Amino acid sequence: MKLYGMLDSPYVRRVAISLAIYGYSFELIPLSVFADFKQFATINPAVKAPTLALDDGTRLMESTLILDYFEALAHTQHKLMPQEAASLAQDLHLLGFILVACEKTVQIVYEQRLRPEEKQYQPWQNRITTQLHAACQVWNEALATRNHRPSISQVTLSSAVVWQFMQFVLPETTQRLNCPTIQALSDEMAATPAFQQYPLA
Ligand SMILES: N[C@@H](CCC(=O)N[C@@H](CS)C(=O)NCC(=O)O)C(=O)O
């Protein structure tokens, strides 16, 4: 299998770390959707990272869809999502807020780095920043009150990946957020072999 994308993308990184935890070997091809646009388009005309090429040539994109596939293949003891309905609902609730926080962070970064300054629209930036803060508060609180706590799960690894990405690209905003539960989890995950094998930068 080949995973296309850079580890500074939280979407690519959550797939890389999940695959490592599931026990798959794959080749990471560090193509950038920006600097290597044309080359990326030969792999995936939609130029989205992550793109995963399976051994039979099937190409998958959208991190959650890619992870759905491997979660479906995983034996019960290796699954990263709970099997029991109430715990599953709780983890899906959490993942929704984690992924919105991630999306809002990416939107802020694109707004600030891709648009010329005179074309930046402050009301939009204020809106997405408000959404980011709200998502992080729910995420931090829901993590603190989560009933089931397996040592590693899609919630714990995605929490750490997204938080570390936020700290990397928006350090001041992230510091102001005051999310001690997410921070503690992120520190714990950072020490695990899969996180060390696929570092953010
Ligand atoms: N919802 C997607 C988001 C993936 C995404 O936006 N990736 C970025 C890189 S971090 C990308 O491909 N950006 C280029 C673009 O959207 O044109 C996922 O979960 O995989």
Model pLDDT, residue 72 = 98
Indicate the residue type of 147: N
| pLDDT values of the chain reduced to their tens digit, one per residue, 201 residues | 999 999 999 999 999 999 999 999 999 999 999 999 999 999 999 999 999 999 999 999 999 999 999 999 999 999 999 999 999 999 999 999 999 999 999 999 999 999 999 999 999 999 999 999 999 999 999 999 998 787 899 999 999 999 999 999 999 999 999 999 999 999 999 999 999 999 998
Model pLDDT, residue 200 = 95
CA 88 to ligand 1 centroid distance, Å: 25
- Ligand 1 binding pocket includes 33 (Cβ within 6 Å): yes
Query: Best substitution site from 32, 48, 63, 108 to test ligand 1's pocket, by max atoms within 8 Å of Cβ?
Result: 48
Domain ranges of the chain: 2-78, 85-197
Residue that is written with structure tokens 């729910």 in the block: 138
Model pLDDT, residue 147 = 82
CA nearest ligand 1 atom 12, residue: 48
Q: Which alpha helices (H) appear in the chain, and where do they start and end?
A: 10-22, 37-43, 63-73, 85-114, 122-144, 154-169, 171-177, 180-190, 193-197
Model pLDDT, residue 179 = 96
* Nearest-angstrom CA–CA distance, 175 and 135: 15
Architecture per CATH, domain 85-197, reads as Up-down Bundle (1.20)
pLDDT digits (tens, 9 = 90+) for 145-190: 998 787 899 999 999 999 999 999 999 999 999 999 999 999 999 9
Model pLDDT, residue 151 = 81
CA 148 to ligand 1 centroid distance, Å: 30
CA 48 to ligand 1 centroid distance, Å: 5
For 125, residues 6+ apart whose C-beta sits below 8 A from its C-beta are 108, 111, 112
CA 50 to ligand 1 centroid distance, Å: 7
CATH code assigned to 2-78: 3.40.30.10
Count the neighbouring beta carbons within 10 Å of the beta carbon of residue 133. Answer: 14
